[in-house]
Amino acid sequence: MAERGQTVAPPPPATADAADAEPRGGPLRLFGRGFLAMLPLWVGAIPTGIAYAVAARGVGIGPGETQVMSLVVFSGAAQLSAVSLLAAGAPLPVLAGSAMALNAQFLLLGLAVSQQLRLRWVERIVTAWFLTDAAYGVTAGRRPLRLPVLLGAGVSMYLGWNLGTALGVVAGQALPDPRRLGVDLVIPLTFLAVLAPVLRTRAALRAALVAAVATPLLSGLVPPGVAVLGAGALGSAAGAWWSRRAGERR
Amino acid sequence: MSVAWTVAAVAAGVFALRLAGLLVPRRAVPPAAEQALRFLPIALLTALVVANLRAQPDGLAAWPAAVGGGLVAWRTRRMWACIVSGLAIYWLLRLV
């Protein structure tokens, strides 16, 4: 139970963790830190939100429904696929199934979080609501992972995404497409900023290499979310296998 | 089929995925898998980066930009430096 106090509930331990002095402060401050860490990604989220809203309005979805979808689904890939399949007249199971396949990596994101944090039921539900690749991506580098930081990042992205959607609903056609400037690139660059500094051991490098090779190979066979799920699983298995082998040799 | 049903079904499906992983109890993972979980953030982030770069409309500029940004991140450990340098490389390559 002591663990629970350390990872989830306030107040945080009085002494700084030597390995990582960063995640200190009260829950509100940690929340703010997560929120701010996500702001650079708004540069990508807002234009994508606008693009989604324009696409949704384009196939005849009402302004209210367009916004509600962003509020309750909160996934660009799922929403854009739903809009295009809806336009094509696809049946409901196909629509829901595609949205899930595109986001299959959420399974692993949730698993990664649940293995680092001890969560109560309510916390699980709230975390699930706001969990995205980006929220996990910007907070994964901070060890130990703290729930308020993750939620701050998640809520930040939620606001940015819905703001973009609202902008698209209101003024979509009149706005230029900022994605021509490469703002979509901000998301992978942010992930790289978290990833690159932790690639310091051979096992970590091998995990990354296997995942990097597996992603395009799997992408040819399955939807992107499933490819990321599979590549993530293969990469982590490779990292574990290598570190165990290296350990045995020593 | 109504749009409302579509929204409800997609929302329920995606939320179920998000929640499923979070429902796995902390100690339910066998020790062999525990070691793999240590590498999960690295593998998952790598896969997300690669999948995202593959989806970029201008891959010839995006990949070198990512490599450059990644090197800057590796040296400096600064997120802003990575984003700014990556975008700068991207814009330069697109000008060429």
DSSP one-letter string for B39-58:
THHHHHHHHHHHHHHHT-S-
ipTM: 0.86
The reply to whether residue B40 touches residue A108, judged by beta carbons under 8 angstroms, is: yes
Residues in A closer than 8 angstroms to B83, CB to CB, are: 40, 186, 189-190, 193
Q: Mark whether A115 and A29 lie in a shared domain.
A: yes
Q: Mark whether A66 and A150 lie in a shared domain.
A: yes
Q: Mark whether A150 and A217 lie in a shared domain.
A: no
Residue A92 lies in a domain: yes
Q: Mark whether A228 and A166 lie in a shared domain.
A: no
Residue A149 lies in a domain: yes
Angle at A197 between CA A196 and CA A200, to 5 degrees: 95
Residue A193 lies in a domain: no
What is the arithmetic mean of pLDDT over A140-146? 79
Q: What is the pLDDT of residue A150?
A: 96
What phi and psi values does residue B54 have, to the nearest 5 degrees? -65, -25
Residues in A closer than 8 angstroms to B64, CB to CB, are: none
| Least confident span in A201-210, A241-250, B86-95 | A241-250
Range of the domain at B20: 3-95
Q: Mark whether A123 and A244 lie in a shared domain.
A: no
pTM of the model: 0.77
Rounded distance, CA A136 to CA A157, Å? 11
Nearest to A110 among B11, B21, B61 (CB): B21
Q: Look at residues A102, A132, A106, A112 and name the one whose alpha carbon lies nearest to residue A226.
A: A102
Name which of A191, A205, A234 to mutate to probe chain B: the one with the most chain B Cβ atoms within 10 A of its Cβ: A191
Which domain-ending residue is among A110, A143, A176?
A176
Residue A191 lies in a domain: no
The reply to whether residue B42 touches residue A204, judged by beta carbons under 8 angstroms, is: yes
Q: How far is A157 from chain B (nearest CA, A)?
A: 15
Res. A86: pLDDT tops 50: yes
Asked whether the beta carbons of A12 and A25 are under 8 A apart, the reply is yes
Rounded distance, CA A162 to CA A165, Å? 5
> Structural domain tally of chain B?
1
Q: Mark whether A45 and A128 lie in a shared domain.
A: yes
In 10 A of CB B2, how many CB atoms?
A: 9
Q: How confident is the model at residue A185 (pLDDT cuts 50, 70, 90)?
A: confident
Residue type, A36: L
Range of the domain at A144: 2-9+24-176
Residues in A closer than 8 angstroms to B63, CB to CB, are: none
Q: How confident is the model at residue B1 (pLDDT cuts 50, 70, 90)?
A: low
> Structural domain tally of chain A?
2
In 10 A of CB A173, how many CB atoms?
A: 8
